[in-house]
Amino acid sequence: MREVGEDDVTGRSVYLGKGLTEAKREGRHVTETVVITGASAGIGRATAELFGRRGANVVLIARGEDGLAAAADAVQAAGGTALAVPTDVADFDAVERAAEQAEDRFGPIDVWVNVAFTSVFAPFWEIKPDEFRRVTEVSYLGFVHGTMAALARMRPRDRGTIVQVGSALGYRAIPLQSAYCGAKHAVNGFTESVRCELLHEGSKVRITVVQMPAVNTPQFSWVLSRLPRHPQPVPPIYQPEVAAQGVVFAADHPDRKEHWVGASTAGTIMAQKFAAPVLDRYLARTGFDSQQTGERVGPGRPNNLWQPVDQPPGSDEGAHGVFDNRAHARSVQQTVTERVEEAGATVRRAVGSLLDAARARAPQHPWSAATSQPTDSGALPADQQTPTSDAGIPASEDADAPASDAGAPPVDHEANLAGHEASLADPDTAVTDHDTSVPDIDASLPEPNVAPGVDEQAPSANRHSFLDDMETPLADQDGRSAGQDAPVADEDSSWTDQGVVPPTQVDVPPGQGAAPPTARDDASDDQNDGPSAEHAAPAAEGSEGAAPLRLEDLAHERTDASPADGNEPQAEGDGPQAEHADPAGQPSNQS
């Protein structure tokens, strides 16, 4: 929820932060620790007082001791806790010591705000090298040193926020402030680089920039100037509380790369993007006069480039400059930006909550567990386990397993995966599927027989059925094709004629008789005399009752009907076999 308070000077409502007004009403202090450089005057001073109204622990860093003491009193009066540490931000060792004091007193630093700066108002050729260096060391390296000290403590904890107080002049430089504009451009550049590095490592430390408009601060009263008239910010001018509100808002919304304060800031940045050459000529005509008032200043005016002006007692200038009668106490652009940002944050939180709820209700896909870690098939109930052969191959895929009319068992992918891995582990039983030259054939269908010696590559040959027939008895194939339980052959039985095609089924040239039987056929006939006689008798006995014809009887009849000389008499009463015999004594193709 948006929390607002009343400004002590203007009486207008100001942004305080998220959930802080309620904490203050309940007498609770917010435990955040905030370090602010340049906190003795101007934007830094107003920001420190606003954080104090949030109940924060505020560490004040600046050179002017009198200004620091007054700023600490203002933070205490606002409801916060203050620690003043006189420091020159151009000295990195001094900044590091100030950070150590802050954490020794208040604990981990949550927010670090870099504000401190100085400048020189003069044409570039009138600025001395050491003056230019000093402006760069304070206004640019001071930000670098503060960021280094903050990151050294925030990155190990993986939390914290750094706010850089920039300026529209960091996008669009103006005449008479070359050193200051160069420093602000450098701040934008190095901050972008650091932001990318933090994003690369996935850090939760955030860094953002607040681009400021012209602000009514004491800076224009103590800046080093070689202009004939009193320096002033380029109108429109805003009060430092407007800038401080932008800093506090940025600290609460650090995910944005940068924040703009004031309509003039937005206009200046957009104009620079689309009309930079036009702005060059415009500022060449107006930039000198717009940065000076009509008041003449004498030589020897005090400045803070080398020494702080608010050092002696009674020299505190406070947050405001001398342009209160011309400065705006609020920014419509900033108010609209804050409302839009808060509405967008509310929408993002609502969408995130809905997505989290949807993920919590969505069931996990079963394949994720099956493929990542196969389940032990022994842990499944007996009715859900898939029977496998000795080699670990599912029975439905084993060609030697007897056919069954119970239907295909339910597919258990987890058990199949486990069986496949087990089969691959044993090189003798490993099963591969890389040979795609032979199409898959349903084992439940009858297969055509192939005579010995037939080329397997011939179109009429079928390698799969040939190998299958060598293993499976012909009677078993007939029973399987009829959907019946086929009798299991005795392991000691000798089926030496499996795969032999009767002579009448062998392709012969037209006009020639059937191929003569081979010696292998004679041996087969002798071995099959017993089975043939056994089946012939039941057939003769059941001829009176017209017993149904069985496929396995036909298989034996084909064998009995092929004697070596073709003239062996049939058994008496073998009616069906006699009906289907041709004159040559061979079984008819109708069998």
| Model confidence band, residue 361 (pLDDT cutoffs 50, 70, 90) | confident
| Model confidence band, residue 412 (pLDDT cutoffs 50, 70, 90) | low
The answer, yes or no, to whether residue 510 has pLDDT greater than 60, is no
- In contact, 247 and 15? CB cutoff 8 Å: no
In a domain, 93, yes or no: yes
Q: What percent of the chain has pLDDT over 90?
A: 48
| H helices, E strands: number in the chain | 19, 16
- Look at residues 591, 589, 584 and name the one whose alpha carbon lies nearest to residue 513: 584
Average pLDDT over residues 515-528: 48
| Model confidence band, residue 343 (pLDDT cutoffs 50, 70, 90) | confident
Q: What is the per-residue pLDDT for 387? A: 56
- Look at residues 394, 397, 403 and name the one whose alpha carbon lies nearest to residue 444: 403
Q: What is the per-residue pLDDT for 114? A: 98
Domain count, the chain: 2
Residue 522: give the domain boundaries: 516-591
In a domain, 306, yes or no: yes
Lowest mean pLDDT among 31-35, 101-105, 344-348, 544-548: 544-548
Round to whole Å and give the CA distance between 421 and 15.
Answer: 66
- In contact, 557 and 576? CB cutoff 8 Å: yes
Q: Of 358, 388, 417, which closes a domain?
A: 358
- Look at residues 405, 406, 537, 533 and name the one whose alpha carbon lies nearest to residue 479: 405
What are the tens digits of pLDDT across the range 138-160? Answer: 999 999 999 999 999 999 999 99
CA-CA-CA-CA torsion sign (349, 352, 354, 357): negative
- In contact, 291 and 234? CB cutoff 8 Å: yes
In a domain, 393, yes or no: no
Q: What is the per-residue pLDDT for 323? A: 95
The answer, yes or no, to whether residue 326 has pLDDT greater than 70, is yes
Q: Order of strands across the sheet with 327-328?
A: 214-215, 237-238, 327-328
- In contact, 38 and 62? CB cutoff 8 Å: yes
Round to whole Å and give the CA distance between 285 and 277.
Answer: 13
- In contact, 7 and 49? CB cutoff 8 Å: no
What are the tens digits of pLDDT across the range 570-589? Answer: 444 444 444 444 444 444 44
Lowest mean pLDDT among 97-111, 166-180, 493-507: 493-507
Output the six-digit token pair for 307.
Answer: 């020494």
**3-class DSSP state of 294:** strand
Average pLDDT over residues 204-211: 97
**3-class DSSP state of 135:** helix
Q: What is the per-residue pLDDT for 334? A: 84
| Residue bearing the bigger pLDDT, 540 or 341 | 341
Alpha helices in 403-473 (DSSP H): 413-425, 463-471
Neighbours of 343 (CB within 10 A): 10
Round to whole Å and give the CA distance between 309 and 41.
Answer: 11
Q: Of 358, 393, 413, which closes a domain?
A: 358
Output the six-digit token pair for 16.
Answer: 């305080």
Neighbours of 498 (CB within 10 A): 15
Q: Of 338, 358, 378, which closes a domain?
A: 358
pTM of the model: 0.59
The number of residues in the chain equals: 591
In a domain, 221, yes or no: yes
What are the tens digits of pLDDT across the range 170-194? Answer: 999 999 999 999 999 999 999 999 9
- CATH code where residue 308 lies: 3.40.50.720
In a domain, 557, yes or no: yes
In a domain, 320, yes or no: yes
Neighbours of 101 (CB within 10 A): 16
Q: What is the mean pLDDT of the chain?
A: 75
Q: What is the per-residue pLDDT for 121? A: 96
| Model confidence band, residue 549 (pLDDT cutoffs 50, 70, 90) | low
Angle of CA points 347, 349, 351, to nearest 5° = 70
Q: What is the 3-state secondary structure (H, E, C) of 496-527?
A: CCCCCCCHHHCCCCCCCCCCCCCHHHHHHHHH
In a domain, 468, yes or no: no
Q: What is the 3-state secondary structure (H, E, C) of 239-270?
A: CHHHHHHHHHHHHHCCCCCEEECCHHHHHHHH
The answer, yes or no, to whether residue 285 has pLDDT greater than 50, is yes
Round to whole Å and give the CA distance between 269 and 211.
Answer: 10
Alpha helices in 29-91 (DSSP H): 42-53, 65-78
- Look at residues 74, 73, 79 and name the one whose alpha carbon lies nearest to residue 27: 79
Round to whole Å and give the CA distance between 138 and 492.
Answer: 103
| Model confidence band, residue 416 (pLDDT cutoffs 50, 70, 90) | low
Lowest mean pLDDT among 12-26, 294-308, 565-579: 565-579
In a domain, 196, yes or no: yes
Q: What is the per-residue pLDDT for 537? A: 43
Question: How remote is the C-alpha of 362 from its chain's centroid?
Answer: 19
